[in-house]
């Protein structure tokens, strides 16, 4: 409410006078301080209002029709699944040397159902930082290196051909399974998938092929799925795959012989494909949940804050809650749940909502405080994982190929003993069946619902149109302040020039000619600092090549090299501190103006690529940029206002330094005792390993902005 | 990039050639990462007319003795096929695939830069001469002091060489560096009064991309009355005032001799080019086929794949029975602006050429960043005149922002699937608006400059009195 009031206030100011748009712009620019204060507070408030403004989800695509058919999964299928689980666990007890045995068992089960089965061999691909990956399309990311036979992973793939389909589309079901070290949970997830799979071989309604991928997760779940997807989507014409089998003949032989001897006809040695993927579900069964119900957690964040279509989550949520009686949850920042300030904020919003309701019962505004706190915690984690740009599970690999995918993790109420296991198999299986049936109804790919949203609970979301307002308000002052600074600097300059008595005509002339291009000097500085930012973000690639380097030492090397490069750049590009010329007096204003413009461009770009990063970055950068002012002026002025501004500047300058911000956040969320200097390096390493755009943002937008702000603070003229 | 060019000009130890060499090295470094940068497949760089892949395809078709225009893949000139085609398949062991072809682009860029520099020097001389003849050298000394160091030729050449658009077009293997070179050749020839060269440049540029045909008007002005100068009226006024008939100080009147020369040479060159094309396309349908699939393809906007222009979106949306009407409207749009601008700016033919190039690179059917690179480079010629252009900072930020945002929007639409065509088209519209602002502000700054010169000439007697 408060936010809307303020914005309306802002809008009303220029309204009464109906004037050309230029006048409006001039008005806003001349009152830039007030406007920026109002806009920034409104932006922060709008961010906190998001949980209140969240809408209930609804199924947008009518063709999905979730839950309209009664589930067909019977106890027969469940007992089939249970048989597989038992076999797998027995195998585990017997021998766990290679893990090949369990894959063989799964393949055998698939073959018995009449599915097409193939094995997919892949190399565990090391996640490696490659500076140019960010600009290339996904297919060129294949790095082919020599691998030894030991780093093999083997996915088992079963495909059911749809009786009613034309083989052009497919639905993917993924169960990560680590044959070497499998817990009961993984076996149960395979069991659920198997029971669904066995049902799907019999049904007549299937219009899309179903692919069941048992991903070998010994090198991580994501790597296995990503490797399979890469081979699925990008046919390899090189001889790499044949080369592999030549390299490691023993593994292949083992496979072919054993499987062939069992079944025969539908097993194939080559890579099998179905149609384009309509959707993918990754199924996991976790350990016992802390909740008092069977819960199912949904993980949706893919790389760079991409989300699957909201309809997919809606379908799962609807079926789980209304059909299977499962409790659905999404990630939360648990540490926020107990914070008292959030609770009081929630209470304020609640009472505001009550007031609004008493004024007009039509206004349905405000939610209970507890709900608000939960919504905020969910929203915060949603923002955090999107901002990180690292996928939260194997589903992330699908999004790179425009396939909507989510990970479902079922956590049962009790431990998975025999009776409970049947129940979980039945309910989990029916849920999966329902989702597959819904997706099966789909005529086109998911497009109806949102792709850009934030979740505040499994059944509530904030759409792009709403959350963009918060960011837009936050960064709206930037162009205005930049313009006003620019105008100020220029007008002041010409004034000082005119006041000098010598050769009035000449200086006036000169003032005009130089004035319109004077920003070039500042632009040069800003450009140089951005080049430095690019260098800094490339440095880890070279530091990585140093063998046997602990994270702390790497971090230190990085910092030192960055400092050296900054100093050299400063000395090479005519020292910006020198102010021998009188007209350079207002140099800092121009530097600030150019900086702010570039920050605006950077934030605008990032908001399109990854909203969450832009929002978090804006929260730090916007106040820092707007407040920056040479400390010397504030010291000279000596008033309370300038003193407080100086303190603010110093604090912001300290906090906003990327490592400092990281350690502060980590300390706040976890514990200050556990903070280690090397952690930052590890974090950065994970960012670039996942090709996160956040890394580029920090290196090329955030860090240069910080350096420029510090430069302005230390300006000596 | 203007920044870079200017900045380096300021420093005393400035060396033009160092920066040229640095730009060549920079290009070569980028050429060694062709796979990673993948610029050749960007819609901003390669349009159906300038795409390298299409050129290679056309060459292959021709090698297989089929018409290079079969299958609507190639739409360029048959001469390019014969000249550049072999380079598309030639490979050197251990080197990037298209090294030879890239080297040709780099050479084209450097040649263009050198020609721009030479033309800029010509323009500067003409500018100084006109100032002298108006006796306002002293008044403009201040500005002259600022710009003496900053010779427009060097600035323009460096802006052209270091403009990211030029670099991207060069490394992205598009044919626009060669088209740009032809345009610059034409202007250079006209400026230095080398009529055959000017005619050759004009014919080749028109042959390659059709739109430079309208440059015939500035070329005629250039040949007829010499390079850019303040309005003729000013000289006449001045002479009236001083009542000294100093004929030598008057700029030359319009002379028809070089223009007839130009017409003759243009005819000769175009006949030559047509004969060559005819020979190379003898078996494949002859010249008519060429006109249909080059000029026809340009004028009817057949390919609606997205680019940084505004026409693809419009013609994808428009109903079929309005299509011809709007085709005419859009192309006449360019022609409409020719006459008024020619009348208003006839005393500044080079600037007129710049304005024409900016306009047609905004409204042409398949624009690419290579076209923008050309007019942004030419902008450097007028640093003296456009010193007090308005919104320079805004325009600069706009260009930076759009050129970053456009690929992002394209990725969002094509690769991520979370955006749609409107996202990308929005950036195209913003880009078009920026270009319009640039042209409008440029023209008004130029007219203001003329006004300023007039004020200086007229106010001089008063100064003398005081």
pLDDT tens readout for residues B133-153: 777 666 555 554 444 556 788
Tell me whether residues B142 and A516 touch, CB distance under 8 A.
no
Is the model more confident about B363 or about A97?
Answer: B363
One domain for residues A427 and A522: no
Tens digits of residue pLDDT in B74-93 = 998 888 888 888 888 877 77
Q: How far apart are CA B20 and CA B448, in angstroms?
A: 33
Same-domain check for residues A36 and A106: no
Q: Is the minimum CB–CB distance between B6 and chain A shorter than 8 Å?
A: yes
Global pTM reads: 0.87
ipTM score: 0.87
What is the token pair recorded at B219? 């070329």
pLDDT score for A432:
93
Q: Which of A213-227, A551-565, B186-200, B282-296 reaches the highest mean pLDDT?
A: B186-200
Q: Are residues A49 and A108 in the same domain?
A: no
Task: Inform me whether the C-beta atom of residue A468 falls under 8 Å from chain B C-beta atoms.
Answer: no
Among B3, B38, B418, select the one facing A306 at the smallest CB separation. B418
Task: Give me the residue from B36, B392, B418 closest to A517, CB to CB.
Answer: B392
Q: Between B237 and A348, whose confidence is greater?
A: A348
Q: Which of A146-155, B34-43, B119-128 has the highest mean pLDDT?
A: B119-128
Q: Which residue range is the domain that position A214 belongs to?
A: 74-125+152-331+392-451
Q: What is the structure's pLDDT at A97?
A: 57
Evaluate if residue B5 carries a pLDDT over 50: no
Tell me the HSE value of B34 on the side-chain side, using a 13 A CA sphere.
18
Tell me the C-alpha to C-alpha distance, in Å, between residue A559 and each of A129, A462, A470, A556, A674. 18, 39, 34, 5, 21
Distance in angstroms (rounded) separating the CA atoms of residues A457 and A376: 9
What is the tens place of the pLDDT at every residue in A305-359? 889 999 999 999 999 998 888 889 888 888 888 888 888 888 888 888 888 888 8
Residues A16 and A88 in one domain: no
Banded pLDDT at B215 (limits 50, 70, 90): very high
Query: What does the pLDDT average to over A692-714?
Result: 89
pLDDT at position B374, please?
93
Is residue A62 in some structural domain? no
> Do residues A493 and A429 share a domain?
no
pLDDT at B243: 54
**CATH assignment of the domain containing A100:** 3.40.630.10
A445, A562: one domain: no
Q: Which of A634-648, A671-685, B143-157 has the lowest mean pLDDT?
A: B143-157
- The answer to whether residue A670 neighbours chain B at the CB level (below 8 Å) is no
What pLDDT is attached to residue B252?
Answer: 59
3-state SS track over A225-261: HHHHHHHHHCCCCCCHHHHHHHHCHHHHHHHHHHHHH
Strand boundaries in A94-220, DSSP class E: 116-123, 152-160, 169-177, 209-216
pLDDT in tens, A132-190: 455 444 444 444 444 455 567 788 899 998 888 788 899 999 999 887 776 788 888 99
User: A473, A468, A705, A451: which is closest to A601 by C-alpha?
Assistant: A705
Task: Kindly state whether residues A32 and A161 are assigned to the same domain.
Answer: no
Each residue's pLDDT tens digit, A648-672:
888 988 888 888 888 888 887 777 7
Residue pair B85/B53 in contact (Cβ under 8 Å)? The answer is: no
pLDDT of res. B65 = 86
Residue scoring higher pLDDT (B396 or A220):
B396
Which of the residue ranges A576-580, A687-691, B172-176, B299-303 would you say has the lowest mean pLDDT? A576-580
Whether residues A411 and A512 fall in one domain: no
Question: A340 lies in a domain?
Answer: no
Chain B nearest-CA distance from A173, in A, is 22
Q: Does A63 fall in a domain?
A: no
Q: Are residues A209 and A314 in the same domain?
A: yes
Residues A428, A537, single domain; the answer is no
Is the confidence at residue B67, as pLDDT, over 60? yes
Residues of A in contact with B417 (CB under 8 A): 402, 451
Examine the pLDDT at B2 and tell me if it is beyond 50: no
The closest alpha carbon to A486, from B169, B393, B79, B346, belongs to B393
Residue A359 lies in a domain: no
Domain count for chain A, please give it.
Answer: 2
* Identity of the residue in A306, A519, A601 whose CB atom sits nearest the CB atom of B400: A601
B198, pLDDT greater than 90: yes
Instruction: Please provide the average confidence, as pLDDT, over all residues in chain A.
Output: 80
User: Counting one residue from A and one from B, how many pairs have CB atoms under 8 Å apart?
Assistant: 96
| Position with higher pLDDT, A428 vs A244 | A428
| Residue A61 located in a structural domain | no
Angle (CA) B139-B145-B150 rounded to 5° is 130
Residue A383 lies in a domain: no
Q: How many helices (H) and strands (E) does chain B have?
A: 22, 0
Q: Could you tell me the CA-to-CA distances from A242 to A178, A232, B426 in Å, in that order?
A: 25, 16, 47
Q: Is residue A17 assigned to a domain?
A: yes
Among B125-129, B147-151, B431-435, name the one with the lowest average pLDDT.
B147-151
Same domain, A443 and A519: no
The top-scoring range by mean pLDDT among A213-227, B13-27, B198-212, B214-228 is: B198-212
Is B177's pLDDT higher than 90?
A: yes
Given pLDDT bands bounded at 50, 70 and 90, which one contains residue B42? Answer: confident
In chain A, which residues have their Cβ closer than 8 Å to the Cβ of B142? 505-507, 509-510, 513
**Which chain B residues have a beta carbon less than 8 Å from that of A594?**
393
Q: Say if A314 falls within a structural domain.
A: yes
When pLDDT is averaged across residues B433-438 and rounded to a whole number, the result is 94
Contact between B419 and B409 (Cβ < 8 Å) = yes
Among chain B residues, the shortest Cα distance to A449 is held by B418
CB-CB neighbors (< 8 A) of A512 in chain B: 387-388
Residue whose C-alpha is closest to residue B179's, from B156, B202, B149, B155: B202
Are A32 and A121 part of one and the same domain? no
Q: Residue window 387-426, chain A: list those with CB within 8 Å of chain B.
A: 402
Using DSSP's 3-state secondary structure scheme, residue A405 falls into strand
């Amino acid at each position: 409410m408060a936010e809307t009031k303020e914005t309306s206030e802002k809008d009303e100011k220029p309204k009464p006078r109906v004037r050309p748009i230029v006048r409006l712009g001039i008005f806003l620019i001349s009152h830039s301080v007030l406007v920026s204060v109002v806009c920034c507070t409104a932006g922060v408030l709008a961010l906190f209002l998001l949980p209140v403004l969240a809408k209930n989800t609804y199924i947008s695509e009518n063709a999905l029709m979730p839950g309209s058919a009664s589930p067909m999964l019977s106890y027969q299928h469940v007992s089939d699944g249970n048989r597989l689980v038992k076999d797998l666990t027995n195998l585990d007890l017997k021998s766990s040397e290679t893990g090949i045995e369990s894959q063989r068992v799964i393949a055998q089960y698939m073959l018995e159902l009449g599915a097409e089965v193939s094995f997919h061999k892949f190399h565990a691909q090391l996640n490696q930082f490659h500076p140019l990956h960010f600009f290339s399309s996904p297919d060129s990311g294949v790095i082919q290196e020599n691998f030894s036979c030991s780093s093999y992973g083997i996915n088992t793939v079963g495909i059911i051909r749809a009786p009613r389909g034309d083989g052009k589309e497919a639905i993917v079901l993924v169960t990560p399974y680590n044959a070497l070290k499998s817990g009961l949970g993984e076996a149960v997830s395979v069991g659920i998938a198997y029971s669904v799979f066995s049902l799907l071989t019999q049904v007549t309604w299937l219009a899309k092929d179903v692919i069941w991928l048992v991903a070998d997760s010994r090198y991580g779940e994501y790597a296995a799925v990503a490797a399979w997807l890469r081979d699925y989507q990008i046919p390899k014409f090189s001889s790499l795959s044949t080369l592999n089998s030549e390299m490691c003949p023993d593994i292949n032989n083992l496979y072919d012989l054993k499987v062939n001897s069992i079944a025969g006809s539908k097993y194939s040695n080559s890579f099998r494909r179905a149609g384009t993927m309509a959707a993918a579900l990754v199924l996991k069964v976790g350990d016992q949940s802390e909740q008092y119900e069977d819960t199912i957690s949904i993980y949706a964040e893919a790389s760079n804050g991409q989300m699957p279509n909201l309809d997919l989550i809606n379908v799962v949520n609807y079926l789980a809650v209304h059909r299977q009686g499962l409790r659905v949850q999404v990630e939360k920042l648990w540490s926020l749940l107990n914070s008292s300030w959030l609770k009081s904020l929630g209470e304020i919003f609640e009472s505001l909502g009550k007031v609004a309701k008493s004024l007009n019962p039509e206004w349905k505004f405000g939610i209970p405080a507890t709900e608000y706190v939960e919504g905020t915690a969910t929203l915060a984690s949603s923002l955090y994982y999107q901002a990180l740009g690292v996928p939260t599970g194997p589903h992330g690999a699908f999004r790179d190929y425009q396939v909507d995918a989510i990970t479902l993790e079922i956590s049962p109420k009790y431990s998975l003993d025999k009776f409970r296991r049947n129940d979980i198999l039945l309910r989990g299986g029916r849920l999966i069946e329902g989702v597959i049936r819904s997706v099966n109804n789909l005529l086109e790919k998911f497009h109806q619902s949102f792709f850009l949203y934030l979740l505040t609970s499994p059944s509530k979301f904030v759409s792009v149109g709403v959350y963009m307002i918060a960011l837009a308000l936050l960064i709206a002052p930037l162009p205005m302040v930049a313009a006003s600074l620019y105008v100020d600097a220029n007008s002041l300059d010409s004034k000082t020039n005119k006041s000098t008595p010598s050769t009035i005509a000449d200086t006036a002339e000169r003032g005009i000619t130089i004035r319109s291009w004077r920003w070039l000097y500042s632009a040069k500085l800003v450009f140089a600092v951005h080049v430095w930012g690019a260098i800094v973000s490339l440095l880890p690639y070279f530091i990585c090549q140093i063998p046997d380097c602990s994270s702390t030492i790497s971090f230190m090397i990085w910092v030192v090299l960055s400092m050296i490069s900054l100093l050299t750049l400063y000395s090479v590009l005519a020292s910006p501190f020198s102010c021998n010329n009188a007209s350079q007096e207002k140099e800092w204003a121009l530097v600030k103006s150019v900086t702010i413009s570039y920050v605006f461009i950077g934030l605008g770009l990032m908001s399109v690529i990854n909203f969450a990063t832009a929002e978090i970055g804006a929260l730090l950068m916007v106040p820092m940029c707007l407040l920056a002012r040479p400390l010397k002026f504030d010291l000279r002025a000596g008033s309370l206002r300038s003193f407080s501004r100086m303190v603010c500047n110093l604090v912001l300058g300290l906090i906003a330094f990327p490592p400092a911000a990281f350690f502060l956040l980590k300390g706040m969320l976890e514990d200050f005792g556990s903070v280690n200097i090397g952690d930052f390096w590890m974090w950065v390493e994970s960012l670039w390993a996942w090709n996160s755009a956040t890394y580029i943002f920090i290196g090329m937008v955030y860090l240069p902005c910080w350096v420029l702000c510090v430069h302005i603070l230390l300006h000596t003229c | 990039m203007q920044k870079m060019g200017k900045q380096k000009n300021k420093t005393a130890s400035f060396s033009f050639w160092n920066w040229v060499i640095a730009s060549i090295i920079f290009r070569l470094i980028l050429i060694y990462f062709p796979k990673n940068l993948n610029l050749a497949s960007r819609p901003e760089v390669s349009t159906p007319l300038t795409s390298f892949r299409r050129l290679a395809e056309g060459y292959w078709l021709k090698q297989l003795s089929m018409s290079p225009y079969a299958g609507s893949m190639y739409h360029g000139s048959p001469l390019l096929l014969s000249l550049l085609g072999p380079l598309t398949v030639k490979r050197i062991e251990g080197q990037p695939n298209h090294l030879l072809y890239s080297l040709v682009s780099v050479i084209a860029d450097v040649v263009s830069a050198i020609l721009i520099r030479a033309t800029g020097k010509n323009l500067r001389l003409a500018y100084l001469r006109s100032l002298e003849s108006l006796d306002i050298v002293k008044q403009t000394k201040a500005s002259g002091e600022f710009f003496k160091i900053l010779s427009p030729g060097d600035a323009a050449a460096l802006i052209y060489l270091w403009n990211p658009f030029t670099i991207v077009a060069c490394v992205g293997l598009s044919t626009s560096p060669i088209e740009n070179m032809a345009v610059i050749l034409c202007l250079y020839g006209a400026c230095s009064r080398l009529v055959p060269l000017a005619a050759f440049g004009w014919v080749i540029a028109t042959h390659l991309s059709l739109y430079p045909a309208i440059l015939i008007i500035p070329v005629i002005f250039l040949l007829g009355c010499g390079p850019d100068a303040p309005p003729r009226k000013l000289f006449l006024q001045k002479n009236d005032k001083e009542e000294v008939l100093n004929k030598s100080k008057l700029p030359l009147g319009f002379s028809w001799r070089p223009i007839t020369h130009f017409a003759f040479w243009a005819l000769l060159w175009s006949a030559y080019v047509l004969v060559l094309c005819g020979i190379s396309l003898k078996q494949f349908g002859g010249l008519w086929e060429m006109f249909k699939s080059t000029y026809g393809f340009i004028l009817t906007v057949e390919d609606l794949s997205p680019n940084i222009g505004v026409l693809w979106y419009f013609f994808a949306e428009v109903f079929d029975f309005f299509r011809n009407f709007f085709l005419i409207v859009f192309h006449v749009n360019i022609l409409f602006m020719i006459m008024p601008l020619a009348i208003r700016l006839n005393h500044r033919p080079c600037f007129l050429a710049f304005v024409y190039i900016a306009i047609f690179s905004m409204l042409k059917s398949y624009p690419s960043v290579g076209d923008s690179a050309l007019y942004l480079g030419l902008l450097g010629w007028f640093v003296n005149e456009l010193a007090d252009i308005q919104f320079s900072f805004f325009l600069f930020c706009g260009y930076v922002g759009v050129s970053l945002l456009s690929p992002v929007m394209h990725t969002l639409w094509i690769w991520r699937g979370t955006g749609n065509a409107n996202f990308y088209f929005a950036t195209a519209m913003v880009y078009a608006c920026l270009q319009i602002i640039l042209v409008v502000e440029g023209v008004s700054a130029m007219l203001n400059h003329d006004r300023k010169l007039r004020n200086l000439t007229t106010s001089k007697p008063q100064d003398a009195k005081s």
